[in-house]
Copies of this chain bind each other. A is one copy, B any other.
Amino acid sequence: MQKLVDGIHEFQDSYFTSHKLLFERLAQGQQPLALFITCSDSRIDPSLLTQTQPGELFIMRNAGNIVPPYGAVLGGEAATIEFAVSVLKVQDIIVCGHSHCGAMNGLLHPEAVDELPAVRAWLTHAEATSRIMKENYKHITEAAPRLTATVEENVLVQLENLRTHPSVAAKLARGELKLHGWVYKFETGQVFAYDAEKGQYLPVEETVARSSSVSAELPSI
């Protein structure tokens, strides 16, 4: 803990002092560029990764960057998403998985979470990921690529879950919101993004976001 307290001192003496105006301005309100959903894993730092400053990313973090489908109404995820979309009007949501994810590893090895009832229950919301792995990836048996595929598929599954949130659905339908699926491989510093057109993950700088408006121009019968 002393390290953290010392860090705060350092922050106050350096960064804060040189960015006083920024923080004062932020006291008037926030207008983040995007909602960034990622894992609680200590090896990920969204602001460092995207070189963004305070005020630029609204960040939701939990074990496994999981977004339960709408309806488990008392959950923090639904509220955080609703706040970002309806109040802060963010226009981009990124779901960012990562390499070496412990939660995804637990999904592949349920016996590992036997003594972790809360984790086990939580992984229910990644049951689609689990089933996709069991049914569609029988051919990948080696541990490392199997975990990679799980992380990748899970990001897509959580994007589907995200689409059931009313605030998200309404904004998608009128073409004002974009959803992005990313995987951060921290040991190489690379970020891959899902390219819906091509149906594959590509280096983030080469991809086109998945905007898929559902019914923006729905004509009446």
Is the Cβ of A59 less than 8 Å from the Cβ of B73? no
**Inter-subunit contact B187/A216 (CB<8 Å):** no
Taking a contact as CB atoms closer than 8 A, the residue among B11, B34, B117, B148 that contacts A127 in the complex is B117
Copies of chain A in the complex:
6
Q: A82-B119, A99-B27, A170-B135 are contacts. A48–B54 as well, Cβ < 8 Å?
A: yes
Say whether, besides A1-B92, A43-B54, A52-B4, A152 and B218 are in contact (CB < 8 Å): yes
A44 at the interface (CB under 8 A from B): yes
Tell me the complex Cα distance, A56–B171, Å.
37
- B149 contacts A220, CB within 8 Å? yes
Which of B27, B75, B86, B199 contacts A187 (CB under 8 A)? B27
Q: From residue 70 to 92 of chain A, which have CB atoms closer than 8 A to chain B?
A: 70-84, 86-87, 92
Contacts A170-B136, A178-B1, A201-B219 hold; do A62 and B77 have CB atoms under 8 A apart? yes
- List the interface of chain A (C-beta within 8 A of B): 1, 3-12, 15-17, 20, 23-24, 26-27, 29-30, 32-34, 40-45, 47-52, 54-64, 66, 68-84, 86-87, 92, 94, 99-100, 102-103, 115-119, 121-125, 127-128, 130-132, 134-136, 140, 145, 148-149, 152-153, 156-157, 160-161, 163-167, 169-171, 173-174, 178, 180, 183, 185-192, 199-201, 204-205, 209, 213-221
